[in-house]
Amino acid sequence: MDTIKVIKIGGNVVDNPEALARFINDFVNLPGKKILVHGGGKEATRMSAKLDIPTTMIEGRRVTTRETLDVVTMVYAGLVNKRIVSMLQAAGCNAIGLTGADANAITATRRPAKPIDYGFVGDIAPEGVNARLIASLLDTGITPVYCAITHDGNGTLLNCNADTIASSVAVGASRVAPTELIFCFEQPGVMEDIERPDSLIPLITPAIYADLRERGIVNKGMIPKIDNAFKAIDAGVKSVTIKHSDALSTDRGTVICNQQ
């Protein structure tokens, strides 16, 4: 099989109908085998507010109580996932929406309560992604669309950070064929200053990353994104790029490299 592209689309793009439509068009026209992973945190936060359920975030990760788990399952696996799948179908891409429980696509274990209790949040082991399912779907011309809900194999659903899902799926796909991981969101890449479009950081190594975190340039939701990028490369993914959702077919973005 040729190179597989695993593309993660961020919640701010999912939340913007025009940006999402542009991305879907570019994604459909991207040649080769591909997998889509999506977020939807803004939608989940809005739904939680409507239901008077508080939202707590720690370093870009959502604390998932039992009530919050119900909300994110409804939003991620239902509303957002099926909206995206329907848009892909309309654009001529035969897609299937998946949680980790579907066809045992991804299993996870509930994260320990110490040092921080994130609630019903899952950690995915390297063998937790069903690579055989990925190969089977791609071989039959079906594009998998993963949301950020997985399961523990014992009947409990678990919330996962969508960047973690993307990284783990890319690692699983790399057992099938060489795999590229692309994080698409609403910025050109990792920025020195989000108010300056010319401040794109073209390359991040572990040393550069440590410096950016120390200076507070990389914070909040960007931390799990870059952490997962390095994990993917260390586990055999060919390349990782962070870029704007409108730049899917271009070379512009931030390349993550694990060499010093």
pLDDT band at 260 (very low <50, low <70, confident <90, very high): low
Cβ atoms 94, 145 nearer than 8 A: no
Residue 76: which domain range?
4-256
Strand duo 33-38 + 239-244: pairing: unpaired
Structure tokens belonging to residue 130: 């069903």
Q: For 22-80, what is each residue's pLDDT tens digit? A: 999 999 999 999 999 998 888 999 999 999 999 998 876 789 999 999 999 999 999 99
CA 208 to chain centre: 23
Q: 1 pLDDT exceeds 70? A: no
pLDDT in tens, 135-155: 999 999 999 999 999 999 999
pLDDT digits (tens, 9 = 90+) for 188-230: 999 998 889 889 999 999 999 999 999 999 987 788 889 989 9
Give me the number of domains the chain comprises. Answer: 1
4-9 vs 179-185, strand pairing mode: parallel
Q: What is the CATH number of the domain that holds 154?
A: 3.40.1160.10
Residues 6+ apart with CB under 8 A from 64: 72, 118, 119, 120, 121, 158, 159
Mean of the pLDDT values across residues 96-101? 98
Q: Nearest 10 degrees: CA dihedral of 130, 93, 237, 134? A: 20
pLDDT at residue 182 above 80? Answer: yes
Q: What is the mean pLDDT of residues 79-89?
A: 98
